[in-house]
Amino acid sequence: MTFSTQFFTRDPQGLPLIEYLHEGGTKIWFSISSEQTEAFENFCRNKLPQLWTDEFDSVNRLDVMIPIDYLENEGITVTRIVQKPGEFVVLFPGAFHAAFCTDFCLSECCYFSSSDWLRSAQDIFELSRYHRLPLLFSLEQLLYRIVNSNEKDQDLHKLAKTKLQNFVKHALGLRTKLKCIGVPLTTPPQKPNAVPWSDVTCDLCEYPCYFTVVFDQDDEIVYCVYHALQEIQRTGNHTGFTVIYNFPTEKLAQYSTLDC
């Protein structure tokens, strides 16, 4: 990118980020630690009232560059880093960051996590679902892959297995409720040149529907199971709704202690 700019933001899933600058000009970063989140948000709320919405993680929605001296005058510490080609920059979880390229820059970045992050991941994802924030990936898919991998860290494998069991119990319970209501279950129909059903997200909360998708054929709306039940209970009508499962109930039950 040439002279590209990134406004202050942070990853809503609380993931750290590593970026490598391959070639080009330098890239200048500004960072505010997670300990100063309240002070930074108060600054944005008071100084940018016309842009502030009081929604969760509103800073991520502000498309504006904030002069660093304005922040420092309010007692907010801003760390400045100059990244040169051939160097890595690591951004810690919860830290706000902004950046701009001084010339053409070719870089790549990658999110990563530790087993400690996995312990609180479900709460983070549920918070994102509640506030309808887009997610980078499906937590259920991540847990499923860890459980079925050759992971040598036994503590991590055990943690992932326990959390996956809880997800599966919940998913099977919601499927049962839909079935009792009379919503038909079907295997995923073919979607040529389209996003696989396992990668779609709920149109209401943007949560990834990895295990189960509920499709309203009449209005062409994709629901997660939670919001499908909510909508059916609200209207009292399930006509046109279909449960599309990416994992048959028998296969899911293998990862759960739930009595089927």
Q: Which pLDDT score is estimated for 54?
A: 67
Report the half-sphere exposure of 225 (CA within 13 A, side-chain side): 23
pLDDT means over runs of 10, the chain (260 residues): 83 89 95 91 86 71 83 94 96 89 93 86 85 84 89 84 90 88 78 66 89 88 91 89 84 66
Q: Which pLDDT score is estimated for 129?
A: 83
Q: Which pLDDT score is estimated for 259?
A: 38
> Which pTM was predicted?
0.77
